[in-house]
Structure 1
Amino acid sequence: MPDAAALTAARDRALELGATQLHDRFDDPEEPLYVLADPDGHPFCIFVA
């Protein structure tokens, strides 16, 4: 994701599609990210590049 707004939008879209949020590191100054799980429980991360 290019910035924090895009990161939040991607997280919201993933949740709409059935993902579950596992961990919120949005406020981390070094590497803001979210850890999510797909509907089968497989974890994945989205982060600001």
Structure 2
Amino acid sequence: MDNYRVKWVRAHDGRAMVSAVSYDKPSAEHRQAALEAEGATAIEIEKVQPGQ
């Protein structure tokens, strides 16, 4: 299984965030959609190695 991390910028304070967990691709895309609904910006999904 490939692992993915989600990075984004919070809408309410402009703070850059990185997910503390890794996701599979569909879960990362679901998280991206949830972040977009919250108003987050600069959302990126990046592939990572297991345990990273």
TM range (shorter): 0.3 to 0.5
TM-score (norm 1): 0.41
TM-score (norm 2): 0.39
Using CA pairs under 8 Å that are at least 6 residues apart, name the structure with larger relative contact order, 1 or 2. Answer: 2
